Amino acid sequence: MGPEFQIEEHKFLSSLGLEGHNVGCYIAGKWKAHGPTVTSVNPSSNKPIATVVEGTVDDYEEALKACDAAKKEWMQTPAPKRGEIVRQIGDVLRANLDALGRLVSLEMGKILPEGIGEVQEFIDMCDFAVGLSRQINGSVIPSERPNHAMLECWNPLGIVGVITAFNFPCAVLGWNACIALVCGNCVVWKGSPSTPLVTVAVTKLIAQVLEKNGLSGAIFTGLCGGADIGEKISNDKRINLVSFTGSTKVGHLVQAAVNSRFGKCLLELSGNNAIIVMDDADLSMVVRSVLFASVGTAGQRCTTCRRLFLHEKIYKETLDKLLKAYSQVKAGDPLVEGTLLGPIHTTTGVKVYQEGIEKIKKQNGVILTGGKVIEREGNYVEPTIVEISHDAPVVQEELFCPILYVFQFKTFEEAVELNNSVPQGLSSSIFTKNPELIFRWTGPLGSDCGIANVNIPTNGAEIGGAFGGEKATGGGREAGSDSWKQYMRRSTCTINYGRTLPLAQGINFGSDN
């Protein structure tokens, strides 16, 4: 890494106040932490970036006491005024878009356009939430009784806990926090242990807005820490909703803990996403889409395409085009313009890739391209395409790396059945020009995933739609549509504005005197 890059890195770290040593917890408006010191590592070189002090269980308890005390004031703040605070958060993110996007790329490893795009997604969520702050409305329901009215009243839950993963260390917080805040909830956020600088930087920007407006810092709590902090969030009765993004294995544990105390849980877990290509598809569009969906973020998106079903009539042609496109993908530093493939986030992720390749070989998979670790500084692996039986156990897993399985099929029904045959149910896509197949794909006997796209890849969701999946993906929904309802509690209110007491269903229980 040359001196010019080091100067540039110094600039954007300095602009975010992240050079050297950092305190990792924002508690009741103050930065404090008493846990171990961890080092943030650049995955493109495995060299240290800066250090962060993590929080302890005692730090967490101090934060929750302050948050619990602050929630009443925030809950009673009018929703449009809460929206104004979120609008200001969007503005401070806009002012730091480039620097924060570069930090995401530096610490996580995704290429710079994706790093900046992730911060932009948070900004877009702020805009969405500002509008929502004037539209959080219930229903007026006709009553069967004379002189009665029925209303739906929506009120804040109180405190929302958000646990995010390394692959989207900024945007997923935005999906949750923007909505939670305008709905009147305080937010407690634990970012990924391997992206602590993003957690600190985003929290600092949100803290600026709270301090500028004279609001309690406990409205938003940012915590750097490990599994012990995550366990506290899951088991804490003061936290009414826990939104967790991560593996299905850990999601099971979070759900069990939250359910045991009758809390609410929003899970966004593993994906094993498929693209189906019919014989009438536009193949130039298909190749571009599959390349982005399978290689983007080095295969470390929950919406990454991991299974590709090609109609037998266009199988060889499509595969040849895809292999040619793969051969032109060059790995490189994610902050350098033109790079399409950045590093795997950690050395552990590289081991998962290597173990996955060994499983594939043992289960009679044929590697058509890739399959090796790239011999260079950092955590780089070759994007890989594999021919294998769909019945192979490894196909049922989510390997969080750029490995794509390809399969032939004969009929639409066969492809849909294969798409739906895995435990996960996050994202799916079909490429076709046939209107009948489009509506069958999105209908009750089509894709069983939370996202069922047509003529676009499995990744790259817009914030206006609800994001999430079914089955082992967890069933939660984040971002747009009516996802806001998960962050509030609903009361049905029946008002009698008359002078008699008629009962529902015409029940007569004594005289009305």
Place of tokens 């173990």: 355
User: Which of the following is catalytic: 114, 118, 268, 398?
Assistant: 268
Task: Indicate the residue type of 212.
Answer: K
Contact 34, 55 (CB under 8 A): yes
- Which residues, 6 or more positions from 285, have their beta carbon under 8 angstroms from its beta carbon? 431, 455
Distance (Å, whole) CA 306 – CA 428: 10
Extended strands (E) in 198-295: 220-223, 241-245, 264-268, 273-277
Distance (Å, whole) CA 196 – CA 215: 25
Distance (Å, whole) CA 247 – CA 225: 18
The three-point CA angle 306-311-312 to 5° equals 120
Phi-psi region of 163 (alpha: psi -120 to 50; beta: other; left: phi over 0): beta
DSSP states along 470-502: EETT-S--EESTTGGGGGEEEEEEEEE-SSS-P
Quote the DSSP letter at residue 381. Answer: B
Distance (Å, whole) CA 181 – CA 161: 12
Task: Decide if 268 is catalytic.
Answer: yes
Distance (Å, whole) CA 379 – CA 363: 26
Length of the chain, in residues = 513
Distance (Å, whole) CA 150 – CA 139: 8
Distance (Å, whole) CA 398 – CA 276: 18
Contact 387, 365 (CB under 8 A): yes
Q: How many CA atoms lie within 13 A of 294 on its CB side?
A: 27
Quote the DSSP letter at residue 54. Answer: P
Which residues form the catalytic set? 268
